[in-house]
């Protein structure tokens, strides 16, 4: 067993165990911490593929920004331990078989795709290649996505204001 | 890569990690002493003076005190998170320093040549930002798990603050990345070599394409906020929140937060000197007329040694009379060693790096004991409405300058 394979197996095990733990934990904060661990394990996997840039960005964006927001909101709302309800009939008879089917399908497709692939040597300067793709070849879809996200943020702001009884006229006037 | 080479790299890295860990922990301990001394002198006091000459053994005494104190765990805490939070803070703060290069040359010890950095990776800068960006969990989780309103308020404030200022921190560095085109910290430093008009160093602060003065300002302010220090220490504002997120921590768990804060201070100062102040590069041009500049490191050591010997002789107690002169003699010996032909080149890099880091740390401490604390809404307004646009402006201006002049 090569060291790479060993590290891969360890990281993969951590990622899967963390992901399962996200659902099993009953307190939102514990679930969030498990999710952070999954993100870190994924960053490690990217590092194993010699894409340092993606690994660092994975941590900065997902573990460092998005999950901080999750934890922040959970703390702010002071969310308590969630209650367990037994599975509804719908979930038991339709959901479980569908989930198993999806799992098999994904495993089959990913397995087939990776078996037919030949390993590519890592590019010498990953960061440069990536930025070329993002800011030259796919600059239009990339910018379009940012506009989409911006619209979503503005929409959330408008909705939040309307609920407080403030008429949402020309956009947000006062945000505290 | 063959097996034995890989193994020797592993062993060397392990040794470097241990040495660095030792150095960082010592540096952190004496940074606390330094801060207390500077603060005291700013306020016309003496600062620590009793434990050892000039209070030099105070960090040791503090460490023993932290270890011996009773470690209480308040009722109703979330145990796992409560114990994990200080560990997260300290581990992350210390591990960020692994990416910092301390000198240009490879050092040859016992037949092994190795550069003066633990992890010289291509995305060193991003890796440091990644580590500092998850550092917020230590503070956030500590406050949440403590089951105390002061802790929770402190950590809520702090997470919001760290997320807000992280944006400005990262943006303030983008200008430098545009100029240099690399994330590697060693390369970032070597690109700053050279002098404009023969005397002004081409550090990024005085970059001929576009001086990063605005970027440096944004970086410095955001870095203070990011490390939760005054005037941005809203997370532990003692006049409102007792001690903020670490109110419920005692003994060594508190010491871990303490160590973490000072270790991240060192990281941020190292990064400031690498990114803006030319890292290990000497501020003096290497022209024949400036040859004497090479002798500054041994001279500084020698002067400190003599001062310690003379200062020690003034002491009446045995301890001061022995410890200080012995320290002075050691420094004097080191200065003699450093003036030898082979060694004098090797010490230049680390010496200038250290000088810059200490200077940045001094300004840090100076700011802390000079400015009053911000109010929370002022802090947020400043972060989003002043600092963030300024950092963005710096990015725009720098990219314009790069396009026009290169």
For residues B394 and B348, give the distance between their C-alpha atoms in angstroms, rounded to a whole number. 32
Cβ contacts (< 8 Å) between B377 and chain A: which residues?
Answer: 176
**Yes or no, beta carbons of B159 and A68 under 8 Å apart:** yes
Q: Is the pLDDT of residue A176 over 50?
A: no
Q: Is the pLDDT of residue B401 over 80?
A: yes
**HEC profile for chain B?**
CCHHHHHHHHHHHHHHHHHHHHHHHHHHHHHHHHHHHHHHHHCCCCCCCCCCHHHCCHHHHHHHHHHHCCCCCCCCCCHHHHHHHHHHHHHHHHHHHHHCCCCCCEEEECCEEEECCCCCCCCHHHHHHHHHHHCHHHHHHHHHHCCCHHHHHHHHHHHHHHHHHHHHHHHHHHHHHHHHCCCCHHHHHHCCCCEECCCEECCHHHCCCCCCHHHHHHHHHHHHHHCCCCCCCHHHCHHHHCCHHHCCCCHHHHHHHHHHHHHHHHHHHHHHHHHCCCCCCCCCCCCHHHHHHHHHHHHHHHHHHHHHHHHHHCCCCHHHHHHHHHHHHHHHHHHHHHCCHHHHHHHHHHHHHHHHHHHHHHHHHHHHCCCCCCCHHHHHHHHHHHHHHHHHHHHHHHHHHHHHHC
Cβ contacts (< 8 Å) between B140 and chain A: which residues?
Answer: 68, 71-72, 75
**Yes or no, beta carbons of B159 and A57 under 8 Å apart:** no
**Yes or no, beta carbons of A75 and B155 under 8 Å apart:** yes
More confident residue, B5 or B365: B365
Strand positions, DSSP E, B185-289: 195-196, 200-201
Beta bridge mates, B200:
B196
Cβ contacts (< 8 Å) between A68 and chain B: which residues?
Answer: 133, 136-137, 140, 159, 162-163
Q: Is the pLDDT of residue A1 over 70?
A: no
Q: What is the pLDDT of residue A171?
A: 47
Chain B contact probe: residue of A38, A58, A64 with most B CBs at under 10 A: A64
Q: 3-class DSSP state for residue B342?
A: helix
Cβ-nearest to A72 among B80, B133, B160: B160
Mean pLDDT of chain B: 81
**Yes or no, beta carbons of A53 and B133 under 8 Å apart:** no
How does pLDDT run across B359-399, given as a tens digit for each residue? 999 998 888 888 888 888 888 888 888 889 999 998 898 88
Q: Is the pLDDT of residue B173 over 60?
A: yes
> Nearest-CA distance from B74 to chain A in Å?
19
In degrees and rounded to multiples of 5, residue B254 shows phi and psi of -65, -40
In percent, the amount of chain A with pLDDT more than 70 equals 85
Q: What is the pLDDT of residue B214?
A: 86
Q: Is the pLDDT of residue B129 over 70?
A: yes
Q: What is the pLDDT of residue B152?
A: 83
DSSP per residue over A38-65, as a string?
HHHHHHHHHHHTT-HHHHHHIIIIIIII
Q: What is the pLDDT of residue A38?
A: 92
| Tokens of residue A27, six digits | 């307190």
**Yes or no, beta carbons of B126 and A57 under 8 Å apart:** yes
Q: What is the pLDDT of residue A164?
A: 55
Q: A-contacting residues of B 145-174, CB under 8 Å?
A: 152, 155-156, 159-160, 162-163, 166, 170
Give the global pTM: 0.81
B187 near A CB under 8 A: no
**Yes or no, beta carbons of A56 and B134 under 8 Å apart:** no
Residue range B217-231: mean pLDDT, rounded: 84
How does pLDDT run across A73-121, given as a tens digit for each residue? 888 887 777 777 777 777 788 888 898 999 999 988 888 887 776 666 6
Helices B251-275 + B79-95 axis angle, to 10: 30
| Tokens of residue B254, six digits | 């508190």
How does pLDDT run across B307-320, given as a tens digit for each residue? 877 777 777 776 66
Q: Is the pLDDT of residue A151 over 90?
A: yes
Report the candidate in B398, B96, B22 with the shortest Cα–Cα distance to residue B274: B96
More confident residue, B326 or B218: B218
**Yes or no, beta carbons of B137 and A36 under 8 Å apart:** yes
More confident residue, B277 or A81: B277
Of the ranges B44-58, B81-95, B105-119, B219-233, which is most confident?
B81-95
pLDDT interval class at A124 (50, 70, 90): low
Q: What is the pLDDT of residue A48?
A: 84
Q: What is the pLDDT of residue B105?
A: 63
Q: 3-class DSSP state for residue B182?
A: coil
> Nearest-CA distance from A2 to chain B in Å?
12
Domain coordinates of chain B in residue numbers? 64-281+340-405
B144 near A CB under 8 A: yes
In chain B, whose CA is at the least distance from the CA of A2? B3
**Yes or no, beta carbons of A59 and B134 under 8 Å apart:** yes
Domain coordinates of chain A in residue numbers? 3-103
Q: What is the pLDDT of residue A104?
A: 92
Query: Do the strands B200-201 and B195-196 form a parallel or antiparallel pair, or are they unpaired?
Result: antiparallel
In chain A, whose CA is at the least distance from the CA of B378? A176
How does pLDDT run across A35-58, given as a tens digit for each residue? 999 998 998 888 888 778 888 888
pLDDT interval class at A144 (50, 70, 90): very high
| Tokens of residue B79, six digits | 């145990």
**Yes or no, beta carbons of B129 and A56 under 8 Å apart:** yes
More confident residue, B347 or A95: A95
Cβ contacts (< 8 Å) between B160 and chain A: which residues?
Answer: 72
pLDDT interval class at B159 (50, 70, 90): confident
Q: How many CB pairs under 8 A join A and B?
A: 78
More confident residue, B147 or A153: A153
Residue range B175-193: mean pLDDT, rounded: 81
Q: 3-class DSSP state for residue A125?
A: coil
> Nearest-CA distance from B147 to chain A in Å?
11
In degrees and rounded to multiples of 5, residue B65 shows phi and psi of -60, -45
Q: Is the pLDDT of residue B106 over 70?
A: no
Q: What is the pLDDT of residue A167?
A: 52
CATH 3.40.50.2020 is the classification of domain A3-103: no
- Lowest pLDDT segment from B6-15, B91-100, B172-181: B6-15
Other beta carbons within 10 angstroms of residue B147's beta carbon come to 15
């Amino acid at each position: 067993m090569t060291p790479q394979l060993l590290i891969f197996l360890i990281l993969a095990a951590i990622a899967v165990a963390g992901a399962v733990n996200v659902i099993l934990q009953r307190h939102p904060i514990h679930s969030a911490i498990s999710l952070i661990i999954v993100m870190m394990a994924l960053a490690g996997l990217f590092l194993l593929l010699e894409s340092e840039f993606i690994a660092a960005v994975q941590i900065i964006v997902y573990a460092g920004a998005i999950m901080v927001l999750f934890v922040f909101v959970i703390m702010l709302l002071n969310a308590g331990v969630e209650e367990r309800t037994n599975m509804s009939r719908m979930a038991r008879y339709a959901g479980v078989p569908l989930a198993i089917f999806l799992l098999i399908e994904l495993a089959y497709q990913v397995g087939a795709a990776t078996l037919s692939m030949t390993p590519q040597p890592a590019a010498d300067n990953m960061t440069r290649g990536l930025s070329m793709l993002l800011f030259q070849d796919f600059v239009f879809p990339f910018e379009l996505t940012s506009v989409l996200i911006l619209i979503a943020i503005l929409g959330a702001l408008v909705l939040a204001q309307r609920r407080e009884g403030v008429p949402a006229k020309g956009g947000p006037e006062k945000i505290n | 890569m063959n097996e034995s080479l890989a193994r020797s790299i592993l062993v060397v890295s392990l040794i470097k990690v241990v040495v660095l860990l030792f150095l960082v922990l010592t540096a952190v301990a004496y940074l606390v002493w330094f801060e207390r001394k500077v603060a005291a002198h700013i306020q016309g006091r003496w600062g620590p003076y009793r434990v050892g000459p000039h209070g030099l053994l105070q960090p040791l005494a503090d460490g023993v005190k932290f270890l011996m104190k009773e470690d209480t765990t308040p009722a109703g805490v979330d145990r796992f998170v409560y114990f994990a939070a200080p560990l997260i803070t300290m581990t992350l703060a210390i591990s960020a320093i692994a990416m910092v290069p301390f000198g240009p040359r490879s050092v040859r010890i016992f037949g092994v040549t190795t550069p003066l950095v633990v992890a010289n990776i291509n995305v060193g800068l991003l890796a440091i930002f990644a580590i500092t960006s998850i550092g917020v969990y230590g503070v956030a989780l500590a406050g949440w798990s403590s089951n105390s309103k002061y802790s929770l308020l402190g950590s809520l404030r702090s997470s919001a603050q760290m997320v807000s200022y992280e944006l400005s921190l990262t943006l303030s560095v983008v200008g430098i990345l545009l100029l240099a085109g690399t994330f590697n910290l060693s390369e970032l430093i070597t690109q700053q070599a050279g002098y404009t008009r023969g005397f002004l160093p081409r550090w990024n602060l005085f970059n001929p394409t576009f001086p990063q003065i605005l970027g440096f300002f944004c970086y410095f302010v955001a870095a203070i906020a990011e490390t939760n220090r005054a005037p941005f220490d809203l997370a532990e504002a003692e006049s409102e929140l007792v001690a903020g997120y670490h109110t419920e921590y005692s003994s060594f768990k508190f010491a871990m937060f303490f160590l973490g804060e000072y270790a991240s201070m060192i990281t941020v100062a190292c990064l400031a000197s690498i990114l803006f102040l030319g890292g290990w590069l000497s501020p003096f041009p290497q022209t024949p007329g400036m040859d004497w500049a090479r002798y500054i490191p041994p001279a500084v050591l020698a002067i400190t040694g003599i001062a310690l010997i003379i200062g020690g002789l003034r002491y009446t107690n045995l301890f001061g009379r022995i410890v200080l002169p012995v320290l002075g003699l050691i420094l004097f010996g080191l200065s003699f060693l450093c003036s030898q032909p082979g060694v004098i080149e090797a010490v230049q890099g680390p010496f200038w790096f250290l000088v810059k880091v200490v200077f940045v740390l001094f300004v840090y401490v100076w700011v802390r004991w000079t400015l009053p604390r911000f109010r929370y809404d002022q802090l947020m307004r400043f972060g989003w409405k002043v600092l963030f646009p300024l950092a963005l402006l710096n990015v725009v201006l720098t990219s314009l300058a790069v396009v026009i002049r290169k």
